[in-house]
Amino acid sequence: MDATHLQLHSEPQYGIFLFEMPDRIPEISGAAIVVVGSFNPAIFQPEWFARQNLIPVPEADQAELKMVHPQLSHFETERFFIQVTTERFVAMTRATTDTSVLGDLVRGTFFILEHTPITAVGLDFQMHFSVGSEEAWHRVGDSLAPKEVWTEVLRGRPGMKVLQIEATDDNGHKMTIKVEPSIKITHGVYFETNEHYAVEGKKTGSAFLDELLRNRWEGAQDDATKIARSVLDWSLVDR
């Protein structure tokens, strides 16, 4: 994948925008960036992030260290969860943190650790939407997973618990979407999206990651929200 390719992907890739309705705003949203490669977990400590000016010193001082070990580092700050193993780096926002800050944190981290071998990157978003009523809530489940086949073989009222959809575009990029009833929002629907990118071409892993986050991070978030809105709007239309 080269820069031109990524530039093209700064435009929404997964647009299925069927309805012109007032935009739904997620009640809760979060994001995670998963980097697969080869890491030295022991260096990923709050003090290191503060020393590199990636997080403020007071945030590092108040971080909750879960574990720091040559093969696993895990800590939580006021805004982020960070977990690093020898093969995987995960940075995630907390529910009280806006997702916009996460991309900079990861870009900065691997700008500094430019020689880190990276093989794949995942951009994940989580959203909880309220649909307002129990009737609407059931309608979403019934639209996405029609119950006719189940009412023939099950007693009681069957309900959708998890729906997972996966698609791979022409460039080989995989997107996975999961839909569940929200356990946080009354009459809410939970969406989780994952965009998976394998490092391709002659670029170093860190250069690939930097370019991906620069060109795709905000677009991926916008697309995730648009997809969730569109699926909800489609599900709630009277048929």
Give yes or no for residue 223 binding another protein (CB under 8 A).
Answer: no
Which DSSP string do the residues of 126-169 spell out, in sequence order? EEEEE-SSHHHHHHHHHHHS--HHHHTT-SS------EEEEEE-
Give yes or no for residue 126 binding another protein (CB under 8 A).
Answer: yes
Measured between alpha carbons, how far is 183 from 38 in angstroms, rounded to an integer?
35
Give yes or no for residue 216 binding another protein (CB under 8 A).
Answer: no
Binding mask 79-118 for another protein (x = CB under 8 A): --x-x-xxxx-x-xxxxxxx-xx--xx-xx--xx------
Give yes or no for residue 42 binding another protein (CB under 8 A).
Answer: no
Contact 125, 31 (CB under 8 A): yes
Element (H, E) at 177: strand 174-181
Q: Which of 42, 48, 56, 78 binds another protein (CB under 8 A)?
A: 56
Contact 216, 123 (CB under 8 A): yes
Find the shortest distance in angstroms from Cβ 136 to another protein: 19
Q: What's the burial of 233, exposed, middle or buried (CB within 10 Å: 0-12/13-18/19+)?
A: middle
Give yes or no for residue 13 binding another protein (CB under 8 A).
Answer: no
Give yes or no for residue 72 binding another protein (CB under 8 A).
Answer: yes
Give yes or no for residue 224 binding another protein (CB under 8 A).
Answer: no
Contact 82, 185 (CB under 8 A): no
Measured between alpha carbons, how far is 173 from 151 in angstroms, rounded to an integer?
37
Measured between alpha carbons, how far is 39 from 118 in angstroms, rounded to an integer?
9
Give yes or no for residue 182 binding another protein (CB under 8 A).
Answer: yes
When the beta carbons of 66 and 237 are compared against another protein, the nearer one is: 66
Give yes or no for residue 166 binding another protein (CB under 8 A).
Answer: no
Binding mask 21-40 for another protein (x = CB under 8 A): ----xxxxxx-x-x-x----
Residues contributing to the site for another protein (CB under 8 A): 25-30, 32, 34, 36, 52-59, 69, 71-72, 74, 81, 83, 85-88, 90, 92-98, 100-101, 104-105, 107-108, 111-112, 124, 126, 180, 182-184, 190, 192, 218
